[in-house]
Homo-oligomer: A and B are copies of this chain.
Amino acid sequence: MLINVPENVVPDALRGFAAVHTDLTVDVERRVIVRRGAPYDGQVGLVSGGGSGHEPLHGGFVGRGMLTAACPGEVFTSPVPDQMVRAAAAVDSGAGVLFIVKNYTGDVLNFDMAAELAEDEGVQVAKVLVNDDVAVTDSLYTAGRRGTGATLFVEKLAGAAADEGAPLDRVAGIARRVNEASRSFGVALSACSTPAKGGPTFDLPEGELELGVGIHGEPGRERRAMMTSGEIADVSVDAVVDDLQPDAPVLLLVNGMGATPLLELYGFAAEVHRAMGARKVSVARTLVGNYVTSLDMAGASVTICQADEELLRLWDAPVSTPALRWGC
């Protein structure tokens, strides 16, 4: 791994992030990334965060039209409440703050604690839980569906609404609507290596793959012999389409897990488009890239979000962040 010592991976990365993205305010010590100039008068603040190792999520999505602040935790470990409280204070203009929380026990507990503390300090806090991963089938006997690729959609679309000056309940409403309209399914072709472990988090022999993985280097629901890109696309598209049953065009994210070459990812995107066509789902917009990652995991995920006119408008709205930028 390209690191100094495992303990310093996150602060080292934040130092680099601070040096490069001078249009953001990066508090390396306290681990908060804030859009320069925040709070913005009359604008709802959007705060997200989670374990590190999913970059560019979330720090790479701070900027105009997306997040106002991000709180990076240790690798694959949710941030601590102090970070979110500080971020909330930094971005609240009086219009309130939306916490965007991926549904993992750690994230939920820490954001809940933070929300209580922030409210004690007079900040109005709304929360949205992102839980789009259809690979978690049995939500009664699990911690519930995980938050994965849809986080990007929630952050982009709610961010655009906040940028338009929508009030907190509307921004939160859009965020929840986007989450409800989104589904994801992921596949790993290799495990990832965490700095703490110093090696792969699980054993995946060459020539096998894991179906239904999350973004924390955990194994999936099922191990199979290697499949072609087209077969993986069929399985993934079936999984999300069966679950969502969309009846309108969708936003599509074809996401690499971190170590997936763009050459392969675009080929996969072609197969996903084919599979969507076969399922008679029309695709309104497609984003391809390594956006919601799991360190150096090879693999991909497919996320769809059923869109209406409003969501399409919000998707096309200007965004200017380190990792996502258009229209401005």
Residues B298 and A3 in contact, CB atoms below 8 Å apart: no
Residues A16 and B266 in contact, CB atoms below 8 Å apart: yes
CB distance from A56 to the nearest CB of B (A): 6
Q: Contacting A2 at CB < 8 Å: which of B10, B16, B55, B189?
A: B189
CB distance from A229 to the nearest CB of B (A): 5
Interface string of A205-217 (1 = CB under 8 A from B): 0100000000000
User: Is A146's CB within 8 Å of the partner chain B?
Assistant: no
User: Is A182's CB within 8 Å of the partner chain B?
Assistant: no
Cα–Cα, bound, A230→B3 (Å): 8
Residues B299 and A56 in contact, CB atoms below 8 Å apart: no
Q: Which residue of B lies closest to A261 (CB)?
A: B295
**Which chain A residues (1-45) contact chain B, with CB distance < 8 Å?**
1-5, 8-10, 12-17, 19-20
Residues A293 and B261 in contact, CB atoms below 8 Å apart: yes
Which residue of A16, A293, A299 has the most chain B CB atoms within 10 A of its CB atom?
A16
Residues B15 and A270 in contact, CB atoms below 8 Å apart: yes
Residues A270 and B2 in contact, CB atoms below 8 Å apart: no
CB distance from A49 to the nearest CB of B (A): 14
Query: Chain B residues with Cβ under 8 A from A269's Cβ?
Result: 16, 19-20
Residues B295 and A2 in contact, CB atoms below 8 Å apart: no
Extra contacts besides A2-B268, A53-B263 (12): CB < 8 Å: A1-B189, A9-B267, A13-B264, A13-B266, A15-B266, A16-B266, A19-B270, A20-B288, A55-B261, A199-B206, A259-B298, A261-B293
Q: Contacting A19 at CB < 8 Å: which of B2, B286, B300, B325?
A: B286
Interface string of A77-114 (1 = CB under 8 A from B): 00000000000000000000000000000000000000
Q: Which residue of B lies closest to A227 (CB)?
A: B2
Residues B298 and A267 in contact, CB atoms below 8 Å apart: no
Cα–Cα, bound, A110→B201 (Å): 44
CB distance from A96 to the nearest CB of B (A): 31
Residues B286 and A20 in contact, CB atoms below 8 Å apart: yes
CB distance from A36 to the nearest CB of B (A): 16
Q: Which residue of B lies closest to A52 (CB)?
A: B263
CB distance from A14 to the nearest CB of B (A): 8
